[in-house]
Amino acid sequence: MNDYNHYFHFQREEWRKLEVSKDQILTAEELEEIRGLNDRISLQDISEIYLPLIKLIAIQYHEAIFIHGEKMEYLKKKESRAPFIIALAGSVAVGKSTTARVFKLMLDRWFSKTRQVELVTTDGFLYPNKVLEERGIMDKKGFPESYDRDRFAKFLTDLKANKEDVEVPLYSHFTYDVLEETRMMHNPDIVIVEGINVLQADQHESLFPSDFFDFSVYMDANEADIKKWYLERFFMLRETAFQDESSYFHPYTKISKQEAETFALGVWDTINGVNLKENIEKTKYRADLVLHKGTDHLISDIYLRK
């Protein structure tokens, strides 16, 4: 089903009326620290879009805790509830990373840091570049086959099995590769899992990642807008992070602007755009909630599964 018939539709003005709190949960300085390079998110967005959403997530979290408690009491068991997992999906350059960081900071504040909130990106579950090159799929980086899906499935299984310590692989956008070191998560209450692939389903797998999620969000926008944002971000990085000689993309600071634009357009047209159409966009209707951005990079419409 490729429509929103099974969703409630809220335009921005309608959605913002769900939460009338006058308290500002983030400061301008905090928002600036977590905002992506060309993301236009503002404090107004925090109060009008994200605050109602965080309250909705909190309601679902408390409901899950209550149901688990009732179930354990009935079964006469003393098993603590597994982490509440929030999935955040969407295209490259649509603003997922900023939104994920906003979620974490706002959930920390909402629960007054009485709940341990963790953020994990699925970039860490990519195969290392060496493996991608050996398999001849370096130009498919970000496609389903470029991820270690067994490792990702084990990670989610460990979380839901209440494993005390769960290993999280790490990724560097600076070196454009998976890092050798990992980090450990210790008994988190809420885990935000952000990545282009989190809602993708492989018919050959016995488990889908979405089987483990308690709430899922898809960041949406028209492809033409996402492509424009991707190019904007590439050139902003070309003037900043790529200037470091250790950066994987440093060589693209040494060519002309026209050559750099040709390269970036080629990456979009042969990799990111293709992946969006063939894989990512198809997962949109698996999400519990869709945040749709307009051409100004601001959220205009919200769709909540009925």
Name the nearest CA neighbour of 39 among 91, 97, 89, 122: 97
166 annotated as belonging to a binding site for a ligand: no
d(Cα 254, Cα 243) in Å, to the nearest integer? 9
Amino acid at residue number 48: E
In the chain, which ranges are E strands?
Answer: 7-11, 84-90, 117-121, 165-172, 177-186, 190-194, 215-220, 289-293, 299-305
d(Cα 39, Cα 48) in Å, to the nearest integer? 16
Phi and psi at 87, nearest 5°, equal: -100, 140
Q: Which residues does 185 contact at the CB level (< 8 Å), separation at least 6?
A: 118, 120, 165, 166, 167, 168, 191
Count of H-run helices and E-run strands, the chain: 10, 9
Question: DSSP label at 185?
Answer: E
136 annotated as belonging to a binding site for a ligand: no
191 annotated as belonging to a binding site for a ligand: no
Give the SS3 label for residue 128.
coil
96 annotated as belonging to a binding site for a ligand: yes
| Sole residue written with tokens 């519990």 | 288
22 annotated as belonging to a binding site for a ligand: no
274 annotated as belonging to a binding site for a ligand: no
Phi and psi at 51, nearest 5°, equal: -65, -45
Binding residues for ATP: 90-97
Binding residues: 90-97
